[in-house]
């Protein structure tokens, strides 16, 4: 073990709870942890500044039941694996140690002696902070005492039914959103710098939430944060835990919610991480047919082990309750639900009924979602579930998994396959755009165009579009308009709103200079107009999984590749009519059926974007059957034309 320089802070730690004579870890703590119901176990395991018998220091506790011995190592003892032995205090295998004089900001690890005599140097699974890569040590931290000022936001959230609220998510990778011209930490923005600029951009554009990739500590940039080694540590790439608290607090004060990507599906095999933590499989399944992801080269959490479930549930609660985040987007849910996910015949072990469902993971999700949302009303649990698993967003009492929302991966696939087609051939794939409207009420969906769709030679969103020059931008405007009108919450990855040409690269900042060029600026303004319109009209979000909120006018105009439909709110009085032309053929004599005799006010079209309130053109319906409706309006629909009418 190489000796590192200490990152000490000059000030003493803030005194916290005194350590009782009976031990910091009580019998009740051990019982609850062993039962999988100690939802605040992170307040006991890990590293905690405190005053014990008049001395300031750090109290350490770690779960390592197979270990023959555990020692605390760090700069304070020259990383000597024999100097500071920890004491085993329970049958569960919890070891504890109080280190007087140790301060916040110091590096440490656990030197775990296995039952074969080998010494493993492991980072703290419950550490609140971690060393900046490529270092792998944990860092003592005090996360208490932050002056939160988002009380109104949290109070309002607790009384909100998110299914009936507008949710438009801006998915962000902080390390590549923008960069500073400096060498320190690869020029990445700090949490505080990002808070100010990101909040300003998100407010201007009209997004309601940001979703952050890669916040939990991870060793490899190329994993984008999906191979985690520090589940309780905001990554040191962008700053300290309290600076991340500042980030969340600042966005809340600006009316913006914060969602984190969360990865309970698997973890990497890095030597300092969770894999074979005490010399044996501990956090992962012991059976390699369940405990290994062959495609990803990672380990799978053991969802049947109470202590592991407790680790994960308490971690979810930690981000929600200690950092005030508004939701967790749970990555790779399908890989958890299916025992044969990514495995060939003979590589997986069936469940006790002979099926491929992971019964332990199913029960884990029900437990997780019930606890997190039960303790934190209004917090969203979002599933990235790529199959047709039933009841993902149904309550566990209805045999559902209990998620708030599910990513609509089927819609995403069909939408992109349609949009990539030459407009001439779209008439042969018309059903790709209508199929999702046959099942949109089955779950609470989020329509996603995420980072996964603009990497690995998949092309950027603008480069997926057919044609040259302005045709690409016109296609994308039409596509985004359809996405806005389609039932479901919305998510766009950064760069998609101004037409980033290059595929996303986590090592490089977005090409923000493009937003100053005419075509890109026009696309960005158009997306901004759509997002602000979305928040203004409840018919676009209040009945997202209810047939009363959607009506086709014409779903069958495949020959012309035109779609027309209506969105309604709960009152039925403020409705919007959408008309979208997915070909470059203008239709100057276009007529669309409408349900009522009244004036139809044009709010937005592809050429102008959103009209000013005083300048909106109006069209009066004429009696006469059209598209199965008793009335119609005539409107000159342009090439790749879009139109949204209020009536």
Domain ranges of the chain: 27-139, 547-646
Given a cut of 70, whether residue 65 has pLDDT beyond it is yes
CA gap 462, 102 in Å, rounded:
53
CA gap 497, 477 in Å, rounded:
10
Q: What string of DSSP letters covers 97-140?
A: EEEET--TT-EEEEEEE-TTS-EEEE--TT-SEEPPTT---EE-
Task: Return the pLDDT at 572.
Answer: 83
Task: Return the pLDDT at 28.
Answer: 95
What is the rounded average pLDDT for all residues in the chain? 95
| Bridge partners (DSSP) listed for residue 100 | 57
3-state helix, strand, coil in the chain (%, to 5): 30, 25, 45
Given a cut of 60, whether residue 4 has pLDDT beyond it is no
CA gap 161, 378 in Å, rounded:
6
Fold identical between 27-139 and 547-646? yes
User: In the CATH scheme, what architecture does the domain 547-646 have?
Assistant: Sandwich (2.60)
List, in order, residues 6 or more apart from 7 with CB less than 8 Å away: 105, 106, 107, 131, 139
Are the C-beta atoms of 173 and 506 separated by less than 8 Å?
Answer: yes
Task: Return the pLDDT at 8.
Answer: 36
Give the global pTM: 0.94
Task: Return the pLDDT at 13.
Answer: 37
Are the C-beta atoms of 300 and 264 separated by less than 8 Å?
Answer: no
The HSE-up count of residue 7 (CA atoms within 13 Å, CB side) is 17
Closest CA to 126 of 141, 146, 145, 114: 141
CA gap 460, 452 in Å, rounded:
10
Task: Return the pLDDT at 101.
Answer: 95
CA gap 267, 284 in Å, rounded:
9
Residue 432's alpha-carbon distances to 414, 429, 460, 582, in angstroms, are: 5, 6, 21, 13
| Angle, vertex CA 149, rays to CA 144 and CA 154, nearest 5 | 95
DSSP structural state of residue 207: -
Task: Return the pLDDT at 24.
Answer: 82
Are the C-beta atoms of 457 and 464 separated by less than 8 Å?
Answer: no
Active site (annotated) includes residue 384: yes
Listed in sequence order, the DSSP H helices in 400-554 are 409-419, 431-434, 461-464, 470-485, 518-536
Closest CA to 448 of 171, 166, 210, 199: 171
Tell me what the mean pLDDT of segment 22-29 comes to: 83
Q: In terms of pLDDT, which residue wins out, 5 or 30?
A: 30
Given a cut of 70, whether residue 1 has pLDDT beyond it is no
Closest CA to 74 of 142, 11, 8, 143: 8
3-state DSSP assignment of residue 95: strand
3-state DSSP assignment of residue 476: helix
Q: What are the pLDDT digits (tens) for 453-471?
A: 999 899 999 999 999 999 9
Tell me what the mean pLDDT of segment 608-616 comes to: 95
Task: Give me the helix-helix angle, 306-322 and 359-375, nearest 10°.
Answer: 30
Tell me what the mean pLDDT of segment 581-606 comes to: 97
Could you give the dihedral angle defined by the CA atoms of residues 198, 204, 207 and 213, in that order, rounded to the nearest 10 degrees?
-20
Rg of the chain over CA atoms, in angstroms?
Answer: 27
Q: What are the pLDDT digits (tens) for 332-366?
A: 999 999 999 999 999 999 999 999 999 999 999 99
Closest CA to 232 of 473, 457, 43: 43
Are the C-beta atoms of 251 and 38 separated by less than 8 Å?
Answer: no
Tell me what the mean pLDDT of segment 80-91 comes to: 95
Task: Return the pLDDT at 11.
Answer: 37
Tell me what the mean pLDDT of segment 424-433 comes to: 97
Tell me what the mean pLDDT of segment 312-322 comes to: 98
> Phi and psi at residue 423, in whole multiples of 5°?
-50, -30
Task: Return the pLDDT at 576.
Answer: 98
Tell me what the mean pLDDT of segment 581-585 comes to: 98
CA gap 238, 176 in Å, rounded:
12
What is the separation, in whole angstroms, between the first and last Cα of the chain? 71
H helix and E strand count, the chain:
14, 31
Are the C-beta atoms of 247 and 194 separated by less than 8 Å?
Answer: yes
pLDDT tier at 573, thresholds 50, 70, 90? confident
Q: What string of DSSP letters covers 30-88?
A: HHHHHHT--TTGGGTSEEEEEEETTEEEEEEEEE-TT-SEEEEEEGGGTT-TTTSB-EE
Are the C-beta atoms of 51 and 17 separated by less than 8 Å?
Answer: no
Are the C-beta atoms of 627 and 554 separated by less than 8 Å?
Answer: yes
pLDDT tier at 53, thresholds 50, 70, 90? confident
Q: Exactly one of 384, 443, 497, 529 is catalytic; name it.
A: 384
DSSP structural state of residue 388: -
What whole-number percentage of the chain has pLDDT above 90?
94
Listed in sequence order, the DSSP H helices in 383-499 are 409-419, 431-434, 461-464, 470-485
Q: Which CATH code fits 27-139?
A: 2.60.40.10
Are the C-beta atoms of 72 and 60 separated by less than 8 Å?
Answer: yes
| Bridge partners (DSSP) listed for residue 168 | 490
Active site (annotated) includes residue 331: yes
List, in order, residues 6 or more apart from 601 with CB less than 8 Å away: 616, 617, 618, 645, 646, 647
pLDDT tier at 54, thresholds 50, 70, 90? confident
Q: Exactly one of 142, 211, 243, 331 is catalytic; name it.
A: 331
CA gap 307, 35 in Å, rounded:
7
């Amino acid at each position: 073990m190489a000796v590192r320089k200490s990152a000490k802070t000059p000030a003493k730690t803030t005194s916290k709870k005194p350590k009782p004579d009976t031990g910091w870890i009580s019998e009740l703590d051990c019982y609850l942890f062993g039962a999988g119901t100690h939802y605040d176990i992170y307040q006991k395991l890990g590293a905690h500044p405190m005053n014990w018998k008049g001395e300031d220091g750090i109290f350490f506790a770690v779960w390592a039941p197979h270990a023959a011995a555990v020692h605390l190592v760090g700069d304070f003892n020259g990383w000597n694996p024999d100097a500071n032995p920890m004491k085993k205090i329970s049958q569960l295998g919890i070891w504890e140690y109080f280190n007087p004089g140790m301060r916040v900001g110091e590096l440490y690890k656990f030197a775990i002696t296995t039952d074969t005599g080998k010494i493993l140097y492991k980072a703290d699974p419950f550490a609140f902070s971690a060393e900046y890569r490529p270092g792998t040590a944990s860092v003592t931290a005090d996360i208490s005492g932050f002056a939160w000022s988002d009380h109104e936001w949290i109070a309002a959230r607790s009384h909100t039914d998110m299914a009936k609220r507008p949710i438009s998510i801006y998915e962000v990778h902080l390390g590549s959103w923008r960069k500073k011209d400096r060498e320190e930490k690869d020029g990445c923005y700090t949490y505080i710098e990002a808070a100010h600029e990101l909040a300003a951009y998100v407010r201007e554009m009209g997004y309601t939430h940001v979703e952050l990739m890669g916040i939990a500590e991870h060793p490899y940039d190329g994993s984008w944060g999906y191979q985690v080694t520090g589940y309780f540590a905001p990554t040191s790439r962008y700053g300290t835990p309290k600076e991340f608290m500042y980030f969340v607090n600042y966005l809340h004060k600006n009316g913006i919610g914060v969602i984190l990507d969360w990865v309970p599906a698997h973890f990497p095999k890095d030597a300092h991480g969770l894999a074979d933590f005490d010399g044996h499989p501990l956090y992962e399944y012991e059976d390699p047919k369940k405990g290994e992801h062959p495609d990803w080269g990672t380990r799978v959490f053991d969802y049947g082990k109470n202590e592991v479930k407790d680790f994960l549930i308490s971690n979810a609660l930690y981000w929600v309750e200690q950092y005030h985040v508004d939701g967790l987007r749970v990555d790779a849910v399908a890989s958890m639900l299916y025992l044969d996910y990514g495995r060939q015949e003979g590589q997986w072990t069936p469940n006790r009924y002979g099926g491929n469902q992971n019964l332990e993971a199913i029960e884990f999700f029900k437990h997780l979602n019930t606890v997190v949302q039960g303790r934190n009303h209004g917090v969203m649990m979002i599933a990235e579930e790529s199959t047709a698993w039933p009841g993902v967003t149904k309550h566990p009492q209805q045999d559902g998994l209990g998620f708030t929302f599910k990513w609509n991966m089927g819609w995403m696939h069909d939408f992109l396959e349609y949009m990539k087609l030459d407009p001439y051939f779209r008439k042969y794939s018309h059903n790709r755009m209508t199929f999702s409207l046959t099942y949109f009420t089955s779950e609470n969906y989020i329509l996603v165009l995420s980072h996964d769709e603009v990497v690995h030679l998949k092309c950027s969103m603008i480069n997926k579009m057919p044609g040259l020059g302005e045709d690409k931008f016109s296609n994308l405007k039409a596509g985004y308009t359809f996405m806005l009108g389609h039932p479901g919450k919305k998510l766009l990855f950064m760069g998609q709103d101004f037409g980033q040409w290059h595929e996303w690269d986590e090592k490089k900042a977005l090409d923000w200079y493009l937003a100053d060029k005419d075509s890109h600026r026009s696309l960005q303004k158009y997306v901004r107009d759509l997002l602000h319109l979305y928040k203004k009209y409840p018919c676009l979000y209040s009945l997202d999984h209810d047939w009363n909120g959607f009506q086709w006018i014409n779903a069958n105009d495949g020959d012309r590749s035109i779609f027309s439909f209506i969105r309604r709110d709960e009152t039925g009085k403020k409705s919007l009519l959408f008309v979208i032309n997915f070909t470059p053929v203008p239709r100057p004599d276009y007529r669309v059926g409408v349900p009522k005799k009244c004036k139809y006010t044009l709010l937005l079209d592809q050429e102008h974007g959103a009209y000013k309130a005083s300048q909106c053109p109006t069209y009066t319906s004429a009696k006469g059957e059209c598209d199965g409706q008793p009335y119609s309006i005539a409107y000159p629909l342009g090439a790749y034309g879009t139109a949204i009418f209020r009536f």
